[in-house]
Amino acid sequence: MARSKSSNAWLHEHVNDHYVHLAQKEGYRARAAYKLLEINEKDRLIRPGMWVADLGAAPGSWSQVAARLVGPQGRVFALDVLEMPPIPDVLFIQGDFREDEVLGRYTALLEGRSVDLVICDMAPNISGNAVTDQARSMLLCELALEFAQTHLKPGGDFLVKVFQGYGYNEYMAAMRATFAQVATRKPKASRDRSSEMYLLGKQKRG
């Protein structure tokens, strides 16, 4: 079956992508690792000994980064609907974040303790319908924010991927109500054509 022009363009871009080659060289599972590394370099989010929740973790590049930076005294808790091969020092739950039973199994890992940082690179399966995809994306963002509101310690930080569109302004307002500071980040590793950006909520209000 012949590839479409768009899939050929994606393949060409992927094969020639600087961050893809760098990830392969440095042992990260995906180029997305460099988005988190760049944001962390600027904002110093991840420090030794921290407890980090990674929502939408597969294939695991953000968990790899977080585990390395928190070190042996820290903990990383990963969750995704997709299977994720094990990563040393990362506890993983596979399941749909939208289901209470899955969320219950995940939060049980925390043993009643609040986390220092929540990171979320989740995105829905793309249907091709822009309105539907935006609604699905915002639902995941809202659920991630609810998780942070419940399980993030006062003063903790929250990093989440968003797509600007329907619901964005309301979501930004909810972020500002929850955190002392809210900033936008567009790391160099984000492809120029992508509408994705990251919202960083710093210092969760007590």
CATH number of 127's domain: 3.40.50.150
C-alpha span between 122 and 97 (Å, rounded): 10
Residue 6 lies in a domain: no
Contacts of 109 (CB under 8 A, 6+ apart): 77, 91, 93
Q: Is 23 domain-assigned?
A: no
**How many structural domains is the chain composed of?**
1
Gyration radius of the chain's alpha carbons: 17
- Domain limits at 59? 32-204
Are 155 and 180 in contact, with CB atoms under 8 Å apart?
no
- Please provide residue 195's backbone torsions phi and psi, each rounded to the nearest 5 degrees: -85, 5
Answer yes or no: is 75 within a domain: yes
Is 192 annotated in a binding site? The answer is: no
Is 89 a known ligand-binding residue? no
Give me the residues paired with residue 54 across strands: 78, 119
DSSP string over 149-205 = HHHEEEEEEEEEEEESSTTHHHHHHHHHHHEEEEEEE--TTS-TT--EEEEEEEEE-
Q: Is residue 26 part of a domain?
A: no
Does 90 map to a domain?
yes
* Domain assignment present for 21: no
pLDDT in tens, the chain (206 residues): 455 555 555 455 555 678 898 888 887 999 999 999 999 999 999 999 999 999 999 999 999 999 999 999 999 999 999 999 999 999 999 999 899 999 999 999 999 999 999 999 998 777 788 888 888 999 999 999 999 999 999 999 999 999 888 899 999 999 999 999 999 999 998 876 678 899 999 999 98
Q: Where would I find the H helices in the chain? A: 5-15, 18-26, 33-43, 61-70, 100-108, 130-151, 168-178
The predicted structure's pLDDT at residue 153:
98
Annotated binding residue at 54? no
121 is in an annotated binding site: yes
Query: Which are the catalytic amino acids?
Result: 161
pTM: 0.89
Inside any domain, residue 73:
yes
In a domain, 27, yes or no: no
pLDDT at 1: 47
